[in-house]
Chains A and B, each alone.
Chain A
Amino acid sequence: MEIKMDLISEDRINSMGSMEKLRFVLEGVKSGNIMVLEGGLTSEEQMSLIELTMTEVDEDFPGIEMSGYPSKKGFLNMRRKARLTVIGPAKIMRTMKKEKGLISAIISAF
């Protein structure tokens, strides 16, 4: 079984509105793709993605697996965006380990 991985540029992501962005990610994941987002999603966007995902969960689509590097705080403690977010279908992305500076995705497509 082939697994498609989409590496989405920050420019492409930033050109979308909030809901458009989440719908784009979720549709990609529901199609079986692993979506890697340069620049990532904010915590609020990730929470909204979880909420949106729950409305789509059914017998064939149990949900998503998601990981990313946390936001870095910048000048005057202003929050910045996450640096990278990886989202995939929970059905094939069974485990995700995360350490400092390393995200390991284990894909099992059988």
Chain B
Amino acid sequence: MKSRKRKGILARLLRLLAFRKRTAKIGLYGPPNAGKTTLANRIIHTFVDENEDMGVSTDVPHETRRAVRRGGIIIDLKSKSVQNPNPHSNPDSMLKRERAKLKLDVVDTPGLATKIDFHEFMAYGLEEEEAKRRAKEATEGVIEAIKWLDDIDGVVLVMDSTEDPYTQTNIVLIGNMEARDTPVIIAANKMDLSDAAPQRIINAFPQHSVIPVSALKGENMEKLYEEMTRRFR
């Protein structure tokens, strides 16, 4: 635990000196079913290839059970038209867009959880053996996601706006990022749903940037990309 922290401090110092990384490695973290893979796919569709997917997203929790990395993504808001419901609403955004360019690797990680019960998968229609296999893989996925934290330059913490944000996994993840001084942006996802309450997330984590988005519908993504280029540079 101490060595992780030391590594974080060393990495930070190196960045501050001459060895600033040209490519930021950004981890998409969060609880299962928050929409991490949907967000990863949205980023790829917008900036790389609209026919390419990083992963499959379904309603079954722990669909992503292995971390997937996609390198060489250039977020260039100047050259890319990002869906914005009201593009003339913010004159500052044009200024920001002039500078908004970021090269990054995106790592879509398995959902973080403190418990994995195979019975939950059976409730989605999986046979018992399949459910047990998925549960086993999901536990390995959680470990893999935690290991990846050592190699991440920034985190987009994806939360479901319809759920209680004040869970211990969210708190632990944010606490770990603060201890490593790794920048965090919270994407309050699923803002398009009628019971979404992104304000709850903003209230729960007032010290962090919280951007309400819908990765599925592409709503407010420009704000998230602008914040990413600002924080992860």
Per DSSP, are chain A's interface residues mostly helix, strand or loop, or mixed?
A: mixed
B172 at the interface (CB under 8 A from A): yes
A54 partner, pick from B132, B139, B149, B166, beta carbons under 8 A:
B139
B175 partner, pick from A43, A64, A98, beta carbons under 8 A:
A43
Indicate if the CB atoms of A64 and B4 lie closer than 8 Å: no
Indicate if the CB atoms of A70 and B117 lie closer than 8 Å: no
Indicate if the CB atoms of A46 and B175 lie closer than 8 Å: yes
A43 and B114 in contact, given A18-B1, A50-B142, A59-B132 (Cβ under 8 angstroms): no
Per DSSP, are chain B's interface residues mostly helix, strand or loop, or mixed?
A: helix
Interface residues on B, range: 20 to 34
Task: Report the Cα distance A67→B176, complex, angstroms.
Answer: 15
Task: Report the Cα distance A62→B119, complex, angstroms.
Answer: 10
For A62, the chain B residues whose CB sits under 8 A away are 115-118
State the A residues within 8 Å of B (CB). 18, 42-48, 50-51, 53-55, 57, 59, 62-68, 70-71, 79, 90, 96-99
4 A-B pairs with the lowest CB-CB distances in the bound complex, closest first: A43-B175, A63-B115, A90-B115, A62-B117
27 A-B pairs with CB atoms under 8 Å apart are: A18-B1, A42-B179, A43-B171, A43-B174, A44-B4, A44-B176, A44-B179, A46-B175, A47-B176, A48-B1, A50-B114, A50-B146, A51-B143, A51-B146, A54-B143, A55-B143, A57-B139, A59-B118, A63-B114, A63-B116, A63-B117, A65-B115, A68-B168, A79-B179, A90-B114, A98-B166, A99-B166
